[in-house]
Amino acid sequence: MNSTGVQDRNGKLVEYLELLRSLAQELERSMQAISQNSLSPLEDSVANQQVLATRLHELANDLSKPVEDRAVASVGGGDEGLMREIRGASKTLQTLNQRYAALLKLSSHSVGLMVSLFSSFRGQIQEGTGPRLEQQTWSCQV
């Protein structure tokens, strides 16, 4: 691998760093959408997360391939500052992912509680009867 190979690898590392940061922003966006009960922004964010995660996976596979030349090994596969930034962004993303997972778990639990609450009621609509028929409305009978 020559200097072009090293530059290509460094370019992939820079892209990887940018994708990590973008994914972190999408997780924050999703958490905000959940807290605001906004379905459309949540759906958009989840779609973006899927695209970003796919590309991150592809880059991780490319970057984990064995180094073919000693020149890259001596360079270290990228400068140390860039690797520090990647480790920091990865740690931030892991922390956000844990918060996001907890929020999703809590939200799922809340939804489950609401479903069980509402399914325990038998909502039967019946028309009222009797002398005040004109003044009565449809009602849910529990």
Containing structural domain, residue 11: 3-118
Residue whose token pair is 């001596």:
74
- Mean pLDDT on 28-44: 93
Q: Is residue 140 part of a domain?
A: no
Residue scoring higher pLDDT (59 or 67): 59
Domain count of the chain? Answer: 1
Q: Is residue 134 part of a domain?
A: no
Q: Is residue 96 part of a domain?
A: yes
- Answer whether residue 74 shows pLDDT above 90: no
Share of the chain above pLDDT 70, in %: 73
- Mean pLDDT on 46-52: 96
pLDDT of residue 70: 43
- Mean pLDDT on 38-67: 93
pLDDT of residue 131: 54
CB 86 within 8 A of CB 17: yes
- Mean pLDDT on 15-30: 96
Q: Is residue 13 part of a domain?
A: yes
Q: Which amino acid is at 64?
A: S
C-alpha distances out from residue 127 to 92, 118, 121, 122, 132, Å: 58, 21, 18, 16, 12
Read off the pLDDT of residues 98-131 as tens digits, 9 standing for 90 and up.
999 988 888 877 777 777 777 766 554 444 555 5
Q: Is residue 138 part of a domain?
A: no
pLDDT of residue 123: 53
Sign of the four-CA dihedral 20, 23, 29, 30: negative
pLDDT of residue 2: 63
- Mean pLDDT on 73-81: 62
